[in-house]
Structure 1
Amino acid sequence: MPATRQPPAPLPAPKTTRNLSPILVVSGALLAYAIVLFHPALLNDGDSFWHIAAGNWILHHRAVPHADPFSATFAQHPWVAHEWLSELLMAAAFDVARWDGVLVLTGLAFALTCGMVAAFVARRAGGLAAIVTTMLAMACTFPSLLARPHLLALPCLAAWTIALLRARESGTAPPPLSVLTVMLLWANLHGSFAFGLALAIPFAIEAVIDSRTDPEADPIPTALHWGRFILLSTATSLVTPNGRQGLLFPFRLVRMPQLAGIGEWQPMHFATIQPLEYALFAILYVSMTRTVRVPAIRLLVLMGLLYLALRHERDQMVAGVVGALILARPLGRAVTHDSTTSAVPRAARPCLFAGTIAFALLTMGRTFHPFVLRDRQSAPVSALLHVPADLARQPVFNSYAFGGYLIFSGIRPFIDGRADMYGAAFMTAYQAAMDMSDRDAFARIVARHGIRWTILPPGAPLVGLLDTLPGWRRMYADKIAVIHVHAEAAPLPGAAP
């Protein structure tokens, strides 16, 4: 073991915190599980549908695709299925219990994350501080609370950050076997594993700086120990079906200009109060009324997390979880522990037993009232029921939001949520047709791809144009989708000769 400076032994958790911890962990996990199970917006993103379709493709072919099997416009185009394990799990859950299975799977991932955050925070901050910190951390995940791979990978983010923080508390690098197992799982679940690799770097720098300030410690072994850990972590992230491409993919993705047109990649808007704002208000209040001391390197990490959250709305989730874990000990030292919690029983086994019963009851409640997928902004369920099979096999021009549900329904879309595969030029041409910034863009797309029908949201500017274009007729409309059919579409059942 390197001769690193051993930090002072952490103070034992206050009695009130030890008493509170089991109840906070179990109740927090239960609340998180219940929210996901009965959250109506969990399937509001079209990507959920094509992820399940991709998982079913993997189950059927016993392989991970490296070329697109779904799109009409990019068929057999190279595609990095970097979330293959999440897709496999989602498809398996769907095959077992339909949508209820998907909700249970994502609910368990969210509950596990909440439980880990609550356990870590409760050991370092007492009473009200632990409760508020955990609640705010989980609230920051709500804008991204969707049945998608990033939610399945959230426990990995929490476990990885906790391992780094515990390593710094003990004065060593993280234990390779357990932490690298997390990285192996994470790299196959979701591309956010790259953030985990990046997060290890400032903790390594902090460890080396601390060892340099201690005359009895040698910074060289510390640097070697952490350097070896980062190299092993990076090597572990390569153990995926995509190898080097899987490692490079997240870095290529964030540089793609077409992401600017996707809602979750846009800057956080303040037209309505965002959960991160509540967290910032709470931190500001504590900082103004108490002495909160955060090491310089970690303060830079927190500033970087805030920048990411403001730059991309989806990163509120990362900022909330990682930020709460980093701030747990500074807040615990700054806030006086609430003495009113001393009467809370400390027995963990009764809490665990009661929590298991409650989890089972919640699951039964969900399955006894099966989730039925109805029309929503990402799923034009009723509209597709009115599309004859002969028409469904012909080239379609669809909205970006509908692409995932088309794939799920066995229809090859013009475009779907895999912006990384379609590329900037294709996305720009598609957007020009949708918003009519170029009135000839749609005509060029029709000519090039032989479009014979469209399915678009009623508010799309292109819908109004299609209502007036010669050769196009409106076949169906509801509050979610409008379908137009081209005069040159193959004869449909019941159509006039």
Structure 2
Amino acid sequence: MASIPAAANSARILRLSWGLREVVIAGACLAVFAILLFNPRVLNDGDTYWHLAAGQWMLDHGRVPNFDPFSFTHGGQPWVPHEWLSEIAMIAAYKAAGWTGIVVLFGLATALSMGLFLGWLSRWLGPIALAVVAWLSVGCMWVGLFTRPHLLALPIMIYWTGRLLDARAEGRAPPLWLAGLMVLWANLHGSFVFGALVAAPLALEALWEQRRQPWPVIRDWGLFAAACLVAILLTPNGLHAITYPFHIMTMKTLNGIVEWLPPDFRKMSEFQAAILVTLLVCLSRGVKVPVFRTLLLLFIFHMALTHQRHMLVLALIGPLLLAEPIGRSFGRQAPRPLAMPWLPAVVFALGALVMIGVRAADPVVRNDAVTTPKIALQHVPVALRAQPVLNTYSFGGYLAFSGVKPFIDGRADMYGDDFFSGHIRLMRGDAAEFDRAAAKYGLAWTILQPREPLAKQMDAKPGWKLVYRDRWAVVHARKDALEVAGR
């Protein structure tokens, strides 16, 4: 008889555990939503501005551009935006509610990503493990939590990976309709290549399991791969959409962009903690991961060690691949669905409405920041703004958004290694490089960050005059250009 109360207590504990999983999921979604809504840092990326400028250009002209309409150094040269659909969504949100609309859009996308992510993990992990994974994943995502198109594509990446893993668990190929998601993904962001990166080893895993009768696997997975290829080609870039991500990753000057640098291991971070916790669990529990999935994990891990922007990919795909093996190492034999799958969505919806109301009552205003030389640009005479400018790389997006044709902006792939290298030398104060650029492009003014060596040299350059300086930006102009501009 004593076993009956014990069984009842166990059932109550199990139900409580299930309810806690829903609470963790809802809490994590609300947390990332709050970060996007209330942390000004998420807007401190110059690329947001030129994405908005591109979206506005498409609305004005009713088509996707096939040439550069923004810079004066590369104006008219071939360029097709790879994230055109994200840029349309961004400008629509901006026109609807300004910068508040932007943060709400990206907050919802990131919260949806977290909900899909933790919802899938909850099949194999308990509430404590879910909370730890959520904390570490958000920490690893931090380097990429900016209002840029990659966040809009994250829900697709997570859903895609989960459905592929489901297909493998059921011993079948993914459904063909899933390939249709690739059309949306490929037009939102170049991260669609990770779809193929995840699918390929899982297809090889299926083929190895059925190596004695491989034809059904080859047929079904091959048909799915062909459908995905067709979907990828349904973009304004066509075949170039496939090669574009690899072109970016092979550029020699990526180390001039912070997000393309390796992670800094000189101090403890969430990324280091995630690595150590994962090793602790996997080594102590004897976690067994299928070989092709292990190779995929190692490859993504290598990418994250090479470029910190890929920490975000590892933080979201890695746990999806490890959840089942870790769950089984703790004795879980089958996935455990949520007891109340509707609860996280309801709690999030209520909390999000409150946050949106608070944010709407205090709308986001863009003030001067590391990518926003707002006051400095206001001190530049209108006539001078139409003249060729030499700008800091991170200021280029703001200039394009403000109607000023920049020297360079965040589209590093379009400018190419040689031009980007020359710009780096300019910012480092290479006098010969400056003289060549001034002569070639007829530079009339500069807008630079005060900490840059070139900015410190401009005060002493013959024929140039200081126009404005603050903590964010410093403006110099040729004296003769100022006279023409009426200053």
* TM-score interval (norm. to shorter): over 0.9
Q: Evaluate the alpha carbon distance shift between residue 227 and residue 16 of structure 1 in structure 2; reply closer, same or farther with a 3 A threshold.
A: farther
Cα deviation for residue 314 of structure 1 reads 0.2
3-state DSSP of counterpart to 2:380: coil
3-state DSSP of counterpart to 1:257: coil
Does residue 308 of the first structure (1) align with residue 303 of the second (2)?
Answer: yes
CA contact (8 A) 2:287 2:329 kept: yes
* TM-score, reference length from structure 2: 0.93
CA contact (8 A) 1:17 1:123 kept: no
1:4 maps to what in 2? Answer: none
CA contact (8 A) 2:21 2:127 kept: no
Mapped partners of 1:17, 1:180: distance in 2: 36
1:285 maps to what in 2? Answer: 280
Per-residue CA deviation, residues 373-432 of structure 1 (Å, 9 max, x unaligned), is 111111111111111111111110001010000011110000111111111111121111
The count of residues paired between Structure 1 and Structure 2 equals 470
Q: Which runs of 5+ in 2 are unaligned?
A: 1-13, 333-337
Does residue 115 of the first structure (1) align with residue 122 of the second (2)?
Answer: no
> 1:64-213, aligned counterparts within 5 Å?
64-177=64-177, 179-212=178-211
Cα deviation for residue 324 of structure 1 reads 1.0
Mapped partners of 2:331, 2:19: distance in 1: 16
1:431 maps to what in 2? Answer: 424
> 1:93-492, aligned counterparts within 5 Å?
93-177=93-177, 179-212=178-211, 218-335=213-330, 346-349=339-342, 351-436=344-429, 438-489=430-481, 491=483
Percent identity between matched residues is 42
1:10 maps to what in 2? Answer: none
After the TM superposition, which of the residue ranges 34-43 and 134-143 deviates more from structure 2? 134-143
Q: Evaluate the alpha carbon distance shift between residue 139 and residue 243 of structure 1 in structure 2; reply closer, same or farther with a 3 A threshold.
A: same
Mapped partners of 2:470, 2:321: distance in 1: 48
Cα deviation for residue 490 of structure 1 reads 5.1
CA contact (8 A) 2:180 2:228 kept: no
CA contact (8 A) 1:55 1:90 kept: yes
Mapped partners of 2:257, 2:62: distance in 1: 32
Higher percent of residues as helix: 2
3-state DSSP of counterpart to 2:446: strand
Per-residue CA deviation, residues 448-468 of structure 1 (Å, 9 max, x unaligned), is 100000000001111222111
After the TM superposition, which of the residue ranges 110-119 and 351-360 deviates more from structure 2? 351-360
3-state DSSP of counterpart to 1:375: coil
* TM-score, reference length from structure 1: 0.91
Query: What residue identity is the alignment partner of 2:22?
Result: P
2:10 maps to what in 1? Answer: none
Mapped partners of 1:278, 1:50: distance in 2: 35
> 1:7-18, aligned counterparts within 5 Å?
18=18
Q: Which runs of 5+ in 1 are unaligned?
A: 1-13, 338-344
2:48 maps to what in 1? Answer: 48
1:341 maps to what in 2? Answer: none
Mapped partners of 2:239, 2:405: distance in 1: 29
Mapped partners of 1:306, 1:415: distance in 2: 32
Cα deviation for residue 55 of structure 1 reads 0.5
Mapped partners of 1:274, 1:211: distance in 2: 42
3-state DSSP of counterpart to 2:208: helix
Cα deviation for residue 348 of structure 1 reads 4.2
Mapped partners of 1:315, 1:58: distance in 2: 29
Mapped partners of 2:366, 2:132: distance in 1: 34
Cα deviation for residue 171 of structure 1 reads 0.7
Q: Evaluate the alpha carbon distance shift between residue 246 and residue 448 of structure 1 in structure 2; reply closer, same or farther with a 3 A threshold.
A: same
Cα deviation for residue 152 of structure 1 reads 0.9
Query: What residue identity is the alignment partner of 1:331?
Result: I
CA contact (8 A) 1:80 1:245 kept: no
Mapped partners of 1:394, 1:367: distance in 2: 38
Per-residue CA deviation, residues 165-222 of structure 1 (Å, 9 max, x unaligned), is 1111111111111x2232111100001111211221101001111123xxxx622211
Cα deviation for residue 330 of structure 1 reads 1.4
CA contact (8 A) 2:393 2:408 kept: yes
Q: Evaluate the alpha carbon distance shift between residue 334 and residue 373 of structure 1 in structure 2; reply closer, same or farther with a 3 A threshold.
A: same
Query: What residue identity is the alignment partner of 1:229?
Result: F
Q: Evaluate the alpha carbon distance shift between residue 290 and residue 350 of structure 1 in structure 2; reply closer, same or farther with a 3 A threshold.
A: closer
Cα deviation for residue 336 of structure 1 reads 6.3
CA contact (8 A) 1:17 1:125 kept: no
3-state DSSP of counterpart to 2:190: coil
Mapped partners of 2:233, 2:383: distance in 1: 44
Cα deviation for residue 85 of structure 1 reads 0.5
Q: Evaluate the alpha carbon distance shift between residue 353 and residue 151 of structure 1 in structure 2; reply closer, same or farther with a 3 A threshold.
A: closer
CA contact (8 A) 1:17 1:122 kept: no
Mapped partners of 1:494, 1:254: distance in 2: 46
Query: What residue identity is the alignment partner of 2:83?
Result: E
